[in-house]
Amino acid sequence: MSETNREQAREAAERAALVGGIAAAVGYTFWGFTVIFYKQLTHVLPYEVLAHRTLWSIALTAGLILLFRKGAALRAVLGNPRILLTLCATSLIIGANWFVFIYSINESRVLETSLGYYINPLISVLIGVVLLSERLSRLQVIAICLAALGVVVMTVDFGAVPWISLFLAITFAIYGYLRKITKVDPLEGLLIEVLILSPFAVAYLVWSEMNGGTSLLHADGLTLFLLALTGPMTTIPLFLFNYGAQRIRLSTLGLMQYLAPTVQLIIAVWIYGEHLSSTHLVTFGLIWTGLALFSWDTWRRERELRRVMR
């Protein structure tokens, strides 16, 4: 390859990384701001919001698959029983995660949601140790211990386990692990997951209509419009995230994942007036310190790997 071609390739890679970084950052930030969107639907039961989120996601993801001509890839996945079995599991896990996320917003517990997504990367590391026999560095051990200490502090002071935070962190980490080891693109995988959830969504809406009515047939136009938007609110950040993930370094992507819970934290305190107690500050401080150590260690390891590969 000539020097000119190498320079052009380098510039193209830099442009792709820049666009990918912007896409990932927008995706994570968008995800954080969805708290405000779902707050507008607190007058609708969380189960019904989840049902609409499932059904409207089908419409949008199916449209995107047609737009990007991924029908052949989708048929290949549908013909693979092992992948379908895994997607059955991931659909139930992500469905439960979505429900608790919606529930936490309805109950004005966004701070716990934010805490859960801060803890999530460290839970993912533990899953790697248990299931993939990965070894923890000293800094990673310290990071996980600090996060655990933060959860203990909150549990002792409040007299109850922060189950929303732990549930969101654990379910999303398990979901991420299963999707990581499953050879299916995000868009096709999401479509199959929501298709698997759709019978439950339809059954719930039918049952609700027969026992008092649903928002689908009795709500005002704005509520119906917001329920329809639950599809894009699910699919857009996922699409942006995966677009960026293919074009930027893992360490960069890892740092960006803290954008969403940070936005959620700011919204919870400054917009919705949730009380940030001294216990919250201690808990978040311990976890932030752990995440800083974890991120530094990840960045250092990747830099060393790049140096060795040169």
Domain ranges of the chain: 3-309
Residue that the structure tokens 């699910």 belong to: 234
Query: Which DSSP string do the residues of 18-39 spell out, in sequence order?
Result: HHHHHHHHHHHHHHHHHHHHHH
Sign of the alpha-carbon torsion through 107, 93, 242, 306: positive
Confidence grade of residue 102 (pLDDT, cut at 50, 70, 90): very high
pLDDT at 94: 92
The predicted structure's pLDDT at residue 107: 93
Instruction: Kindly report, residue by residue over 265-280, the tens digit of the pLDDT.
Output: 999 999 999 988 888 8
Higher pLDDT, 40 or 16: 40
- Which is higher by pLDDT, 151 or 248? 151
Which of the 8 DSSP states describes residue 219? Answer: S
Which whole number is the average pLDDT over 57-61?
92
Mean pLDDT of 146-171: 88
Burial class (CB in 10 A: 0-12, 13-18, 19+), 62: middle
Q: What mean pLDDT comes out for the span 75-103?
A: 93
pLDDT of residue 56: 94
Q: How far is CA 233 from CA 36, 57, 240, in A?
A: 11, 9, 12
- Tens of pLDDT, residue by residue over 196-221, are 999 999 999 988 888 776 666 677 88
pLDDT score at 209: 82
Q: Give how far the C-alpha of residue 108 lies from the chain's centroid of Cα atoms, to the nearest Å.
A: 19
Q: Is the dihedral of CA 17, 19, 25, 31 positive or negative?
A: negative
Across 44-58, 110-124, 203-217, the highest mean pLDDT is recorded for 44-58
Distance set, CA 105 to CA 49, 52, 169, 220 (Å): 12, 16, 16, 21
User: Average pLDDT of 152-178?
Assistant: 87
Closest CA to 32 of 306, 267, 250: 267
Structure confidence at residue 177 (pLDDT): 84
pLDDT, residue 194, reads 93
Q: Is the pLDDT of residue 2 over 70?
A: no
Task: Kindly write down the DSSP assignment for every residue of 264-310, as one continuous string.
Answer: HHHIIIIIS-----HHHHHHHHHHHHHHHHHHHHHHHHHHHHHHHH-
Asked whether the beta carbons of 102 and 94 are under 8 A apart, the reply is: no
pLDDT of 252 strictly over 70: no
Does the pLDDT value for residue 9 go beyond 70?
no
Q: pTM for this structure? A: 0.85
Residue % of the chain over a pLDDT of 90: 36
Alpha-carbon distance of 145 to 192, in angstroms, equals 37
Helix locations, the chain, DSSP H:
3-39, 46-67, 71-78, 81-106, 110-132, 138-158, 163-180, 186-210, 215-218, 221-245, 250-256, 259-266, 278-309
What is the overall mean pLDDT for the chain?
A: 84
Is the confidence at residue 302, as pLDDT, over 70? no
pLDDT of 254 strictly over 80: no
